[in-house]
Amino acid sequence: MKSPRSPASPSAQRPRAYGVKADGAPLESVQEHNEALEQAAFGELLSYSLERLSKEPELLKAERDQLSRHGQDAAIEHYQAFIKGAQCLQSLDSELKQVESSLQGMLSHLPQLGQAGQDFSTEARAAVGRLSETKQIHDSQALLMELLEIPQLMDTCMRNGNHDDALALRSLLAKLAFLHSDVQVVEKLVEQGEAVAQAMLQQLLSRLRANVQLPECLRIVGHLRRLSVFSEPV
């Protein structure tokens, strides 16, 4: 016959560690764990005498009361921790709701943000294009200034009698008009050049009417032919 045990002894020989069988092998589920506890308790009860079994309900009740008191004492001792824990949970819940609200607001603005990004990209490409054009104009500034001075230079050559140079400049304007006929500045330059050519035509005709030597007369005729203002007989 076994001697009566203390109130804390009913579970002394029962397996307490979850996940381990009586032989030390790991358990695969909660159900196996519960079955292991039941088998251990049932085997222990079978080893008790009738007198011992009659005392088991009281011993279990005493152990339950003791565990209940321990739980109450722990709750009283650590009630502030429970209150703080509840406050933390409440604060965390409030912050999570704020985060959720902020995320929903951000998601609602994502389409507008995407459209703004596309608009910015379009404007940036246009700005880069304008910058490239401005840089190209800046790099070509000297050449543009020379082109703009062609009619005036033609007039200077014509007044100084440098008709070959004036006609060469007129040919250059003709090439510009052929390559860039849709540019208004080029059209304006061609008009000014033709005005100088008309003045040169009158100058050459006036000199041809005067008493000039044959070599000079031939040069004047050559200049008139290059002006292409008179038709030649076939």
Residue-by-residue DSSP string for 56-101: HHHHHHHHHHHHHHHHHHHHHHTHHHHHHHHHHHHHHHHHHHHHHH
Answer for the pair 193, 151: CB distance below 8 angstroms, yes or no: yes
Asked, for residue 1, whether it belongs to a domain, the answer is no
Look at residue 15 in the predicted model and tell me its pLDDT. Answer: 43
Look at residue 9 in the predicted model and tell me its pLDDT. Answer: 44
Instruction: Please check whether residues 129 and 157 belong to one and the same domain.
Output: no
Asked, for residue 95, whether it belongs to a domain, the answer is yes
Rounded to an integer, the average pLDDT of 163-170 is: 90
Instruction: Please check whether residues 213 and 161 belong to one and the same domain.
Output: yes
Mean pLDDT, the chain, rounded, equals: 81
Residue 202 belongs to domain spanning: 142-227
Rounded to an integer, the average pLDDT of 73-81 is: 83
Q: How far apart are CA 153 and CA 156, in angstroms?
A: 5
The pLDDT confidence band at residue 6, using thresholds 50, 70 and 90, is: very low
Asked, for residue 2, whether it belongs to a domain, the answer is no
Taking only the tens place, the pLDDT of each residue in 195-212 is 999 998 888 888 888 887
Instruction: Please check whether residues 90 and 132 belong to one and the same domain.
Output: yes
Instruction: Please check whether residues 94 and 111 belong to one and the same domain.
Output: yes
**End of a domain among 45, 62, 77?**
77
Instruction: Please check whether residues 157 and 220 belong to one and the same domain.
Output: yes
Question: Lowest-confidence range among 27-31, 115-119, 156-160, 202-206?
Answer: 27-31
Q: pTM for this structure? A: 0.42
When comparing pLDDT for 30 and 64, which is higher? 64
Does the pLDDT at position 218 exceed 80? yes
Rounded to an integer, the average pLDDT of 89-111 is: 89
Asked, for residue 234, whether it belongs to a domain, the answer is no
Does the pLDDT at position 22 exceed 60? no
Rounded to an integer, the average pLDDT of 160-187 is: 88
> How buried is residue 166: exposed, middle or buried, by Cβ count under 10 Å (0-12/13-18/19+)?
buried
Instruction: Please check whether residues 97 and 64 belong to one and the same domain.
Output: no
Counted domains in the chain: 3
Instruction: Please check whether residues 167 and 195 belong to one and the same domain.
Output: yes
Rg (CA), the chain: 56
Rounded to an integer, the average pLDDT of 82-100 is: 89
Asked, for residue 185, whether it belongs to a domain, the answer is yes
Instruction: Please check whether residues 175 and 222 belong to one and the same domain.
Output: yes
Q: How far apart are CA 143 and CA 149, in angstroms?
A: 10
Instruction: Please check whether residues 88 and 126 belong to one and the same domain.
Output: yes
**End of a domain among 57, 77, 97?**
77
Which residue shows structure tokens 């589920």? 29
Percent of the chain scored above 90 by pLDDT? Answer: 17
Look at residue 23 in the predicted model and tell me its pLDDT. Answer: 55
Instruction: Please check whether residues 128 and 104 belong to one and the same domain.
Output: yes
Instruction: Please check whether residues 68 and 116 belong to one and the same domain.
Output: no
**End of a domain among 100, 119, 139?**
139
Rounded to an integer, the average pLDDT of 158-163 is: 89
Instruction: Please check whether residues 200 and 165 belong to one and the same domain.
Output: yes
7 by DSSP, 3-state: which?
coil
Asked, for residue 106, whether it belongs to a domain, the answer is yes
Asked, for residue 215, whether it belongs to a domain, the answer is yes
Does the pLDDT at position 7 exceed 60? no
The pLDDT confidence band at residue 2, using thresholds 50, 70 and 90, is: very low
Asked, for residue 109, whether it belongs to a domain, the answer is yes
